Protein backbone atom coordinates (compact mmCIF):
# COMPACT_ATOMS: atom_id res chain seq x y z
CA UNK A 1 0.00 0.00 0.00
CA UNK A 2 2.68 2.53 0.98
CA UNK A 3 5.75 1.29 -0.91
CA UNK A 4 4.35 0.21 -4.28
CA UNK A 5 5.51 3.37 -6.05
CA UNK A 6 9.08 2.97 -4.84
CA UNK A 7 11.94 3.36 -7.26
CA UNK A 8 14.67 0.73 -7.34
CA UNK A 9 18.35 0.95 -8.14
CA UNK A 10 21.47 -1.10 -7.47
CA UNK A 11 24.29 0.32 -5.36
CA UNK A 12 27.70 -1.08 -4.60
CA UNK A 13 29.25 -0.93 -1.16
CA UNK A 14 32.04 -3.43 -1.75
CA UNK A 15 33.93 -2.63 1.46
CA UNK A 16 31.07 -2.20 3.90
CA UNK A 17 30.27 -5.11 6.24
CA UNK A 18 26.62 -4.10 5.86
CA UNK A 19 26.59 -4.65 2.10
CA UNK A 20 24.65 -7.90 2.69
CA UNK A 21 22.29 -6.38 5.25
CA UNK A 22 18.79 -5.01 4.90
CA UNK A 23 18.82 -1.43 6.19
CA UNK A 24 15.99 1.08 6.40
CA UNK A 25 16.84 4.80 6.53
CA UNK A 26 14.10 7.26 7.55
CA UNK A 27 13.55 10.95 8.05
CA UNK A 28 10.74 11.12 10.59
CA UNK A 29 7.73 13.38 10.27
CA UNK A 30 4.31 13.63 8.61
CA UNK A 31 6.11 13.75 5.25
CA UNK A 32 8.64 10.98 5.59
CA UNK A 33 11.41 10.04 3.17
CA UNK A 34 12.83 6.55 3.24
CA UNK A 35 15.45 4.36 1.59
CA UNK A 36 15.67 0.58 1.92
CA UNK A 37 18.89 -1.27 1.10
CA UNK A 38 18.32 -4.99 0.45
CA UNK A 39 20.84 -7.76 0.97
CA UNK A 40 21.26 -8.18 -2.79
CA UNK A 41 22.36 -4.54 -3.12
CA UNK A 42 19.15 -3.12 -4.54
CA UNK A 43 17.78 0.07 -3.06
CA UNK A 44 14.14 1.11 -2.95
CA UNK A 45 13.30 4.62 -1.93
CA UNK A 46 10.45 7.02 -1.80
CA UNK A 47 8.43 9.32 0.37
CA UNK A 48 5.14 8.87 2.18
CA UNK A 49 2.71 11.24 3.86
CA UNK A 50 1.26 10.35 7.27
CA UNK A 51 -1.15 13.15 8.13
CA UNK A 52 -4.56 12.86 9.70
CA UNK A 53 -7.46 14.29 7.75
CA UNK A 54 -10.03 16.64 9.24
CA UNK A 55 -12.39 13.72 9.83
CA UNK A 56 -9.91 11.48 11.68
CA UNK A 57 -8.34 11.42 15.08
CA UNK A 58 -4.81 12.74 15.57
CA UNK A 59 -3.45 9.22 15.99
CA UNK A 60 -4.35 8.06 12.48
CA UNK A 61 -1.12 9.42 10.99
CA UNK A 62 0.90 7.44 13.51
CA UNK A 63 -1.20 4.34 12.87
CA UNK A 64 -0.51 4.65 9.12
CA UNK A 65 3.19 4.99 9.94
CA UNK A 66 3.05 1.74 11.91
CA UNK A 67 1.33 0.01 8.96
CA UNK A 68 4.08 1.38 6.72
CA UNK A 69 6.76 -0.14 8.99
CA UNK A 70 4.96 -3.49 8.99
CA UNK A 71 4.67 -3.42 5.21
CA UNK A 72 8.40 -2.73 4.81
CA UNK A 73 9.17 -5.50 7.30
CA UNK A 74 7.04 -8.12 5.54
CA UNK A 75 8.01 -7.16 1.98
CA UNK A 76 11.73 -7.10 2.78
CA UNK A 77 11.37 -10.44 4.65
CA UNK A 78 13.54 -9.04 7.43
CA UNK A 79 15.27 -5.87 8.57
CA UNK A 80 18.76 -5.92 10.03
CA UNK A 81 18.73 -2.31 11.25
CA UNK A 82 16.91 1.03 11.05
CA UNK A 83 18.73 4.36 10.79
CA UNK A 84 16.76 7.56 11.31
CA UNK A 85 17.53 11.26 11.28
CA UNK A 86 17.99 12.70 14.74
CA UNK A 87 16.47 16.17 14.91
CA UNK A 88 17.69 18.33 17.79
CA UNK A 89 16.11 21.66 16.87
CA UNK A 90 12.55 22.22 15.75
CA UNK A 91 10.90 25.30 14.31
CA UNK A 92 7.87 25.11 16.61
CA UNK A 93 6.62 23.23 19.65
CA UNK A 94 4.13 21.47 17.38
CA UNK A 95 6.98 20.21 15.14
CA UNK A 96 8.80 18.87 18.19
CA UNK A 97 5.68 17.07 19.39
CA UNK A 98 5.04 15.52 15.97
CA UNK A 99 8.66 14.34 15.69
CA UNK A 100 8.43 12.91 19.21
CA UNK A 101 5.34 10.93 18.23
CA UNK A 102 7.03 9.39 15.19
CA UNK A 103 10.18 8.76 17.23
CA UNK A 104 8.18 6.98 19.94
CA UNK A 105 6.31 4.80 17.46
CA UNK A 106 9.47 3.91 15.54
CA UNK A 107 11.54 2.98 18.57
CA UNK A 108 8.69 1.00 20.17
CA UNK A 109 8.12 -0.87 16.91
CA UNK A 110 11.86 -1.64 16.58
CA UNK A 111 11.97 -2.91 20.17
CA UNK A 112 8.89 -5.06 19.54
CA UNK A 113 10.46 -6.57 16.39
CA UNK A 114 13.97 -6.85 17.96
CA UNK A 115 15.45 -4.63 15.26
CA UNK A 116 18.44 -2.47 16.21
CA UNK A 117 18.07 1.22 15.50
CA UNK A 118 20.37 4.19 15.56
CA UNK A 119 19.70 7.89 15.38
CA UNK A 120 22.09 9.61 13.02
CA UNK A 121 22.89 13.25 12.53
CA UNK A 122 21.37 14.39 9.26
CA UNK A 123 23.97 17.15 9.14
CA UNK A 124 26.76 14.54 9.35
CA UNK A 125 25.15 12.48 6.59
CA UNK A 126 24.85 15.55 4.36
CA UNK A 127 28.44 16.53 5.18
CA UNK A 128 29.65 13.06 4.15
CA UNK A 129 27.73 13.27 0.87
CA UNK A 130 28.58 16.85 -0.10
CA UNK A 131 31.50 18.03 2.00
CA UNK A 132 29.40 20.99 3.20
CA UNK A 133 27.74 21.58 6.56
CA UNK A 134 24.31 22.67 5.32
CA UNK A 135 23.98 22.09 1.57
CA UNK A 136 20.99 23.09 -0.52
CA UNK A 137 18.79 20.11 -1.43
CA UNK A 138 19.75 20.28 -5.11
CA UNK A 139 23.45 20.12 -4.21
CA UNK A 140 22.73 17.06 -2.05
CA UNK A 141 20.91 15.41 -4.96
CA UNK A 142 23.81 16.15 -7.32
CA UNK A 143 26.37 14.85 -4.83
CA UNK A 144 24.40 11.65 -4.27
CA UNK A 145 24.15 11.10 -8.02
CA UNK A 146 27.92 11.55 -8.22
CA UNK A 147 28.31 8.96 -5.45
CA UNK A 148 26.42 6.38 -7.52
CA UNK A 149 22.77 6.94 -6.61
CA UNK A 150 21.41 7.41 -10.12
CA UNK A 151 17.83 8.05 -9.03
CA UNK A 152 18.48 10.54 -6.25
CA UNK A 153 15.58 13.00 -6.06
CA UNK A 154 14.50 15.80 -3.75
CA UNK A 155 11.94 13.67 -1.91
CA UNK A 156 14.33 10.88 -0.96
CA UNK A 157 17.71 12.67 -0.92
CA UNK A 158 17.96 12.94 2.87
CA UNK A 159 17.05 9.27 3.38
CA UNK A 160 19.66 8.24 0.78
CA UNK A 161 22.24 10.42 2.55
CA UNK A 162 21.41 8.62 5.83
CA UNK A 163 21.70 5.24 4.11
CA UNK A 164 25.05 6.24 2.63
CA UNK A 165 26.21 7.41 6.07
CA UNK A 166 25.14 4.10 7.65
CA UNK A 167 27.06 2.10 5.06
CA UNK A 168 30.22 4.05 5.84
CA UNK A 169 29.82 4.23 9.63
CA UNK A 170 28.20 0.93 10.43
CA UNK A 171 30.04 0.33 13.70
CA UNK A 172 27.26 2.08 15.64
CA UNK A 173 24.62 -0.39 14.44
CA UNK A 174 24.72 -3.56 16.48
CA UNK A 175 22.14 -6.02 17.74
- Of 53 and 26, the one with more pLDDT: 26
Pairing assessment for the beta strands 42-49 and 7-10 based on DSSP bridges? antiparallel
Taking the CA atoms of residue 63, residue 68, residue 73 and residue 74 in that order, the dihedral angle to the nearest 10 degrees is: 100
Domains and CATH numbers, the chain: 7-172 (3.30.420.10)
- Classify 34 as helix, strand or coil: strand
Residue 9 has pLDDT above 50, yes or no: no
Distance CA 113, CA 104 (A): 14
Per-residue pLDDT at 2: 43
CA distance 105 to 127: 28
Query: Cα-Cα-Cα-Cα dihedral of 162, 165, 166, 168, to 10°?
Result: 160
For 50-167, list the strands marked E by DSSP: 81-86, 117-121
pLDDT at 82 over 50: yes
More confident residue, 135 or 113: 113
pTM of the model: 0.81
Question: What is the percent of the chain where pLDDT is above 70?
Answer: 79
How confident is the model at residue 117, as a pLDDT?
A: 92
Sign of CA dihedral 159, 165, 170, 174: negative
User: In whole numbers, what is the pLDDT of the chain averaged over residues?
Assistant: 79
Integer distance in angstroms from the first to the last C-alpha of the chain?
29
pLDDT above 60 (res 172): no
* pLDDT tens by residue, 121-157: 887 887 887 777 777 777 877 888 887 777 666 777 8
Q: How far apart are CA 165 and CA 162, in angstroms?
A: 5
Residue 166, pLDDT > 90, answer no
pLDDT at 5: 38
Amino acid sequence: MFINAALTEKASFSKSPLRHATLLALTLGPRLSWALHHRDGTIKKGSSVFRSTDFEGVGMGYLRFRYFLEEIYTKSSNLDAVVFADVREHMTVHDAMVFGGFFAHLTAWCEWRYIPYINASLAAAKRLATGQDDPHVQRLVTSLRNRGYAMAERDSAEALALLDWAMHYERGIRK
